[in-house]
Structure 1
Amino acid sequence: MSAKIELWVEETGERLDTYLAEQLPDLSRSRIQKLIADHQVLLNGEICTTKKAQVQDGDRIQLTIPDAEQLDVQPENIPLEILYEDDHLLILNKPAGMVVHPSPGHTSGTLVNALLWHCRTESGASTLSGIGGVQRPGIVHRLDKDTSGAIAIAKTDQAHHQLQQQFQAKTARRSYVAVVYGAPAAESGTIDLPIGRHRVDRKKMAIVPEAKGGRKAVTHWQIKERLGNHTLINFELETGRTHQIRVHTAQMGHPIIGDPVYGSGRSVGVNLEGQALHAWRLRLQHPVSGEWVEAIAPIPPYFSTLVEVLRRRFAGK
């Protein structure tokens, strides 16, 4: 049976989705917005189709939360490198080349396929959070296909909601390491440039002014090692926009080695399984206990090989 919720507003002037998110903490803002878009929310007896509707004191809100859809994504027995796991939270070291969730052209072999196998009951039911929908169960944040490293998975709706809040509030911290072309003049810096969808190539992101739809994006960086015409850099994300590090480093004039979209296309003579970008550390608060959890994802062998080859070349000059 679908769940039905009725609320009487005692506030004035808030947006509908904001009010519902405050009153129903077990539902994420994105889940609430989807319910509104799916005509599952009534405002004073009428279907409300806009999340921006202003609620007033005395308004009556009725929500219908449909039963979870049966997942049409098939579980697959794909090995996972687990960095942390309990009944609420799972942190994995995603390999380069693995897509996080199914999409056109990637209907199998994804991280979600592997998670559905790993997080299943004896009856075959999934134990993952359903907030992300049928295609993205448990997925709180993403890593690009060709980026390896630590990624957090929510096993319950409560954990999903709490983890989303941490990423939005920037209390969850993500650290990356990358090898880029060129040698920055400074030892460290901050890139504060908004990112939005590319005007021509809709599969790419670009630097886009906020006035034209770009979203604030802040990346902090510090050089770990200079390797001649290449540099090993550590990155700390303050925001989490799509392709953020890749777009920001390309804007600096120092694209990531092996990046098929924003890179230079030059070869370094090393067989890379993905771009030279790795999410090596994820630090967050446990969604139930509140204790800090820090997961370290080992550097993949091809990345280490690339660094060693560049070191030898630099030392030989």
Structure 2
Amino acid sequence: MKTVSNKNNLQVLYEDNHIIIVNKRAGDIVQGDKTGDTPLSEVVKEYIAEKYNKPGNVYLGVVHRLDRPTTGIVVFARTSKALPRLNKLFAEKKAKKTYWAVVKNSPPKSHDTLTHWLRKNPKNNKSTAFSEEVANSKKAVLEYTIKKKLDNYVLLEVALHTGRHHQIRVQLSSIGCIIKGDLKYGADRSNKDASIHLHARKLVFTHPVKKELLEIIAPLPDDAVWNACL
């Protein structure tokens, strides 16, 4: 049974007056959607309201998102001053994102850069990768390195150069490296908790107000496969 975040078990990785960074669990949705499930943004608001005894509405800006079955680092803005600065930072690719992905097959090279053109289908919420530009497609670039070979899987470290819909999932799948548990992109079976083994592991960026360099690392989920990655 999967554990989703609430104000009492929220995994806070960093917080100050301007930003709060949390370690998202599989099953958390960052913003509200048609499911009506409580989004992580509301959980963080509840946490802030209780911790700092704030009456009334708590300001919180969503800077970026992670797919529901994905785990790891999510950044929120706590002030209207920080939000546009964080948005600009992410839009200009000045936040360095590193992901860990556990895949079924080893890629052809130990290190490579993948470039595809991705086209999203809103009807099934799925992206398709093409080797050349096609109508309504967006260029997607990532870099991967084999970090560790496990008994039945391979751990890849992925650096994102663009931020496209399901980018890591579809690009790795297109080279035969399907992420463990990712039924949508070709896995033969799901994980028991409906997660996929994709984790936003590290984020490096300059604080939007304090101008200090921050390096955030999100602990891995506690399961046998992730534990074998350490």
Same fold (TM over 0.5): yes
Q: Which structure 1 residue ranges, 5 or more long, are not aligned?
A: 1-75, 129-137, 312-317
Q: Aligned equivalents of 1:78 and 1:271: distance in 2?
A: 24
Aligned-pair distance for 1:306? Answer: 1.4
Secondary structure of 1:261 counterpart:
helix
Q: Do residues 207 (structure 1) and 129 (structure 2) align? A: yes
- Could you tell me whether the CA contact under 8 Å between 1:222 and 1:235 is conserved in 2? yes
Code of the residue aligned with 1:125 in structure 2: it is: N
- Rg: which structure is higher? 1
Give the Cα separation in 2 of the matches to 1:167 and 1:289. Answer: 17
Deviation at 1:210, TM superposition (A): 4.0
Q: Deviations over 1:6-51 (max 9, x none)?
A: xxxxxxxxxxxxxxxxxxxxxxxxxxxxxxxxxxxxxxxxxxxxxx
Q: SS of 2:162's equivalent?
A: coil
Residue 208 (structure 2) aligned to one of 281, 287, 305: 287
Corresponding residue of 1:113: 42
CA distance, structure 2, for counterparts of residue 294 and residue 259 of structure 1: 28
Q: What TM-score, normalized by structure 1, do the two folds share? A: 0.65
SS in 2 for 1:146: coil
1:296 to 217, 220, 226: 217
Aligned partner of 1:104 in structure 2 is 34
Shift of 1:227: 2.6
Structure number having the greater strand percentage: 2
SS of equivalent to 2:184: coil
Following superposition, the deviation at residue 293 of structure 1 comes to: 0.8
Q: Does 1:155 align with 2:78?
A: yes
1:119–1:127 Cα contact (<8 Å) kept: no
Provide the C-alpha distance between the structure 1 equivalents of 2:23 and 2:229, rounded to a whole number of angstroms.
25
Q: TM-score, normalised by structure 2?
A: 0.87
Quote the sequence identity (%).
34
Q: CA deviation at 1:151?
A: 0.9
**Aligned residue number for residue 9 of structure 2:** 79
> Where in structure 2 are there 5+ consecutive unaligned residues?
1-5
- What is the distance in 1 between the residues matched to 2:214 and 2:90? 14
Aligned residue for 1:145?
Answer: 68
| C-alpha distance in 2 between matches for 1:84 and 1:233 | 25
Aligned residue pairs total 221
Native 8 Å contact 1:148 1:277 kept in 2:
yes
Question: Relative contact order (alpha carbons < 8 A, sep ≥ 6): 1 or 2 greater?
Answer: 2
RMSD across aligned C-alpha pairs, in angstroms? Answer: 2.3
List structure 1 runs of 4+ shifted beyond 6 angstroms.
none
Contact 2:104 2:178 in 1 (8 A): yes
Counterpart residue number, 2:225: 306
Which of 215, 226, 242 lines up with 2:165 in the alignment?
Answer: 242
Q: Deviation of residue 91 (structure 1)?
A: 0.7
